[in-house]
Structure 1
Amino acid sequence: MSAELKPVEDQVMVVTGASSGIGLTTARMAADRGAKVVLAARSEDALRELTEEIRRSGGDATYVVADVSDREDVRRIAAEAVDTYGGFDTWVNVAGTFLYGKLEDTPVEDMREQFDTNVWGLLYGSLEAADHLKERGGAIINIGSVASDEAIPLQGSYSASKHAVKGFTDALRMELENEDAPVSVTLVKPASIDTPYADHAKNYMEQDATLPPPLYAPETVARAILDAAERPQRDVYVGGGAKGMAALGHYASRLMDKMMASAFVPLQRRDEPPHAHGPNNLDAPTGDLEERGDYDRHVSETSAYTAASQRGSLTKALLAGAGVGAAALAVYARYRSRRGRSKGSGTGHSETERRHSVGEIPQQSR
């Protein structure tokens, strides 16, 4: 049985991690489109403010203060949706925690806590949603990452959690299909997104953390999520950069390993010591209604690849993905060449100069 999904304006939508970044942008966009939204996060002040904002704009929203790593909290989210709106049509699992650092420098206890949110929290939400939607029909949308396919150095624990998210989401989809349940299960895999990700991350590096290019606006993810809420889709890569990295990792895995080790390590470190941006979201709630981050790189406001792939234009999508992959290879080759010349001449380039060099990727991939 295929899932028959309602237009967004006729839906009740649950969004976890709704107090910042992708979750916040998605909640606002869904409410603007006419959906009734159930907002969940740990930050009560932010949730109350967001709910009032949506209501003032003529929307309909309610909220639940919840830590998704606690299954009883997740059950309370579902109960609020049932009590307030009679149920829900789409459940979007966005909540996540972030860690930077070499694996050997990162306490295992922090990795376990990250898995409690990124994996177990998403698992609890998906199972709660599946139980509800088997009779009603609807969509489960899980936020993975390009790191679901391609591990990223200095974010090894996060990458492992997103690999687990992919495995769980794929298995859940197959089991629901086996039951002929009218439920669409989508895994959304964004590239680097311009959110407060690096500011909210717990950092075990000696330098300040940042995101590697190319960067895309959080609206690109929100649009992809709402599209999947209306039309059943299996996987959605947000940004041609995400698809290009996944394709390169699949077809040229050793080359991708080398590129990641050489280029993506410096691209995630800024030339300054770590500085406090406030609490990290592993240890405490950090949501304060911030959609965007503070990055000194180009941010693409749209993704031609994602739009083409979601509309079924396979040829255009493949060309866009291939273009990004070629651009990444060209920039990597330039990076290696400049690094070699630097070593040979004895005059090195600074970290900032290397970052700006590789940061040309977004310009070439637009």
Structure 2
Amino acid sequence: MKTKLKKLSEQTIVITGASSGIGLVTARQAAKAGAKLVLAARSEAALRELTEELSQQGCEVIYVVADVSKQADVKRIAREAKQKFGSFDTWVNNAGVSMYGKVVNESVDDMRQLFETNFWGLVYGSLEATEHLRHRGGALINVGSVLSDVTAILQTMYSASKHAVKGFTDGLRTELEMEDAPISVTLIQPAAIDTPYPLNAKNYLDKVPQHAPPAYAPETVAEAILSSATSPQRNILVGGAGKLFKGMEQWTPALLDKFMEKAFAPMSKSDKADHRNRPSGLYEGAGQLQERGNYPGRTREISTYTKAKLNPTATVAIVAGTGLAVAAIVKAFSKDDGKDKVAGKGQGGEQRSNQGKRPQSASDKGSVQASPQRPDNVQDTGKGANGDGRAPRAGSAKATPDDVRGPGTDKTDSGKQPGGKS
């Protein structure tokens, strides 16, 4: 059965993780398109403010305070959506949390909690959406990551959870196709996106985490999500850098490993010191209606790769852009380890190397100086790094009411510089 999807102006859309980043931008764009919205997150104050904002613009919208790691909360999202609007047409599983650090230093309790949100929360949402949509048709959109195919150093457990998301989504899609259910199942795979994601992550590093370049605007992901809500898509990779990483994983895996160790890891740490007791979003709501995060470089406001993906007639742009980017990466990181040292010291006196700097491609002329890599010799106390967890779990202490955004300067839309293309 061919899946027929409605125009956005005729849809009711459920969005989890709507209080910041990708979910927030998607909600605002969907409201402008005339959709009815059901917004879910753990941060009630942020949801209430967003609901008032969109209502004033004429959007029909409700919010549901919910923790997707609890199946009862996810069932309540579906129930309240049907009670208010009679049904829903698209369900977007966007809620997610992250964790930075060497996996050997992270508590198992924190690892389990990350999977409870990123994987099981998405499973619960998918099951609720499928049960409802198989009788009337619609779209299920799961937000995975380029890390569903590639593993990012210092984000091992997050990468593992996104691998699981891809496996589940692909399996569910084929099962629904086998029974001819009228449901479109899409996996969205963003590259690095400039959102509060690093600031809300649980952190085992000695520095505040940040995205390694390049990073794209959350609007690029929102565009892919809303396109999938009206036109069936199997999967959409957001950001040409993601395509590059997938290509390296397939064709030059040893080179990718070297890039991760020499460049990606140091660039994932800012120059700002962090501490183990800073609250994170792993166990508690952290959304504060922030679209952008602490990315230090120029955010790419447009991804020509993704636009080409959504517009097949422009496929030639994908081939040309990817080829040039691969050539640049190979040139920058295929030299012998230990050679091409740059004279001079980095902060703290460490030597810097060319491999610790941001690579340049034909589509990326900007550069960001890498922070020197420091040892992550954080002792595992069993309490996690910067959150105090959820009692009575053995990995946490009571979280403080401090600003969950943590250190780092927040960037608003007005403070961002126009980005380039990728």
TM-score (norm 2): 0.81
Shift of the 354–19 alpha-carbon distance from structure 1 to 2, 3 Å rule, reads: farther
Change (3 A) 1:339 1:222: farther
Preserved CA contact (<8 Å) 1:148 1:159: yes
Counterpart Cα distance in 2 of 1:298 and 1:329: 23
CA distance in 2, matches of 1:192, 1:265: 14
Task: Give the equivalent residue in structure 1 for 2:62.
Answer: 62
CA distance, structure 2, for counterparts of residue 104 and residue 277 of structure 1:
19
CA RMSD of aligned residues (A): 2.1
Residue of structure 2 in register with 1:315 after alignment: 316
Q: How does 1:156-235 map to 2 (within 5 A)?
A: 156-235=156-235
1:328 paired residue number: 329
Contact 1:41–1:47 (CA under 8 A) maintained in structure 2? yes
Distance 2:10 2:277 in 1: 39
C-alpha contact 2:333 2:355 (8 A) present in aligned 1: no
Give matches, 1:231-242, under 5 Å: 231-242=231-242
| Cα distance in 1, alignment partners of residues 194 and 355 from structure 2 | 17
SS in 2 for 1:290: coil
Deviations 1:148-185 (A, max 9, x none): 01001100000000000000000000000001001000
Question: Within the alignment, does 1:8 sit opposite 2:12 as a pair?
Answer: no
Q: Secondary structure at the match of 1:31?
A: helix
Matched, 1:282 2:286: no
For residues 76-112 of structure 1, the C-alpha deviation after alignment (integer angstroms, 9 at most, x for no partner) is 1001111111111110001001100001011111010
- Aligned residue for 1:37, secondary structure, equals strand
Instruction: Show the counterpart of 2:368.
Output: none
Q: 1:282 to 1:355 in 2, by over 3 A?
A: farther
One-letter code of the match for 1:319? A
Displacement of 1:265 = 1.0
2-side partners of 1:132 and 1:15: how far apart? 15
Q: CA deviation at 1:338?
A: 10
Output the amino acid matched with 1:342. Answer: K
**Which residue is 1:144 aligned to?**
144
Q: 1:105 to 1:228 in 2, by over 3 A?
A: same
SS in structure 1 of the partner of residue 364 of structure 2: helix
Q: Is the CA contact (8 Å cut-off) linking 2:194 and 2:215 kept in structure 1?
A: yes
User: Which moved further from structure 2: 18-27 or 278-287?
Assistant: 278-287
**Mean alpha-carbon deviation: is it higher for 351-360 or for 158-167?**
351-360
- Aligned residue pairs total 362
1-structure distance, mates of 2:216, 2:329: 16
Name the structure 2 match of 1:19: 19
Shift of 1:340: 2.3
Which whole-Å CA distance do the structure 2 matches of 1:176 and 1:50 have between them?
34
Whole-angstrom distance in 1 between the partners of 2:7 and 2:326: 34
Q: Any idea what SS the aligned residue of 1:64 has?
A: strand
Q: Which has the higher helix share?
A: 1
Q: Contact 2:266/2:356 (CA < 8 Å) preserved in 1?
A: no
Q: Partner amino acid for 2:339?
A: G
Aligned to 2:411: none
User: What are the Cα deviations for residues 314-340 of structure 1, in whole angstroms up to 9, with x where unaligned?
Assistant: 33323333333333333435xx68962
Letter of the 1:267 counterpart: M
Following the alignment from structure 1 to structure 2, what is the Cα–Cα distance between the partners of residues 188 and 257?
Answer: 24
CA gap of 1:337–1:363, structure 2 versus 1, over 3 A, is farther
Matching residue's letter, 2:177: E
Aligned mates of 2:5, 2:358 — CA distance in 1: 41
Between 8-17 and 245-254, the greater mean CA deviation after superposition: 245-254
CA distance in 1, matches of 2:277, 2:7: 39
Distance, in Å, in 2 between the alignment partners of 1:301 and 1:331 is 25
User: Where does residue 339 of structure 2 map in the other structure?
Assistant: 340
Contact 1:342 1:348 in 2 (8 A): no
CA displacement 1:99-136 (0-9 Å, x = unmatched): 00001011111010000000000000011101100011
Tell me the SS of whatever aligns to 1:266: helix
**SS of match in other structure, 2:25:** helix
- TM (norm. structure 1) is 0.93
Aligned mates of 1:94, 1:187 — CA distance in 2: 11
Q: 1:359 to 1:199 in 2, by over 3 A?
A: farther
Q: Structure 2: state its 5+ residue gaps.
A: 366-420
In structure 1, C-alpha distance between the alignment counterparts of 2:302 and 2:34, rounded to whole Å = 22
Are the equivalent residues in 1 in contact too, given 2:141–2:188 (CA < 8 A)? yes
> Partners of 1:72 and 1:354 in 2: how far apart?
51
